[in-house]
Amino acid sequence: MLTIYFRNSGVLLALLREANTARSVTDIFDDLYIKLGSKTFRSLFPVILTDRGSEFSNPNALEFDGEGNRRTQIFYCDANAPYQKGGIEVAHEFIRKVIPKGNSMNHFGQEDISLMINHINSYGRKKLNNRSASQSFSFLYGDDVLAKLDAHHIEPNSIILTPKLLKK
């Protein structure tokens, strides 16, 4: 699973990958580039901050589109410095409320992961003045961009952030 965190709104995306390869990450960003269009993509992803995992070992494939146009810039966190990307680490704690550490994710499809992420992004947060991350994102970029990311709002009284959300 590739997670993408937007610091300015708190929105989290999670996208399943077939394998933990650089190509799988490039494919996801290529798909986002096509879905969002170049202008919106560059607005959302002026910079990508990541760790030095092997899945990010081909920065040129992420930074440039198929025609050689720059679409983003990749920067890597320092080794042993998780505080440099603390926001996503906190966001991952929400995932662990629904899928506790040690539980396999192999039986979940993208539809399950998207459902979980929609619940996480709809949860009101004190740091956002009790607004949800999806509301903040929508305010900044519009409902149409949120929809292109296959995100939708869950009503507060319907939010489930426990393992029972994905029980089949």
pLDDT digits (tens, 9 = 90+) for 86-132: 788 888 999 999 999 999 888 999 999 999 999 999 999 998 999 99
Q: pLDDT band for position 84 (50/70/90)?
A: confident
Q: Which of 152, 150, 160, 10 is nearest to 98 (CA)?
A: 160
Boundaries of domain holding 137? 2-166
pLDDT digits (tens, 9 = 90+) for 11-64: 999 999 989 999 999 999 999 999 999 999 999 999 999 988 899 999 999 999
Task: Please determine, for residue 168, whether its predicted confidence score (pLDDT) is greater than 70.
Answer: no
Name, in order, each residue with C-beta under 8 angstroms of 103's C-beta and a sequence gap of 6 or more. 163
CA dihedral 23, 149, 90, 75 (to 10 degrees): 40
Distances (CA, A) of 64 to 59, 61, 73, 74, 129: 9, 6, 9, 10, 37
Question: What's the CATH number where 8 sits?
Answer: 3.30.420.10
Q: How many domains are there within the chain?
A: 1
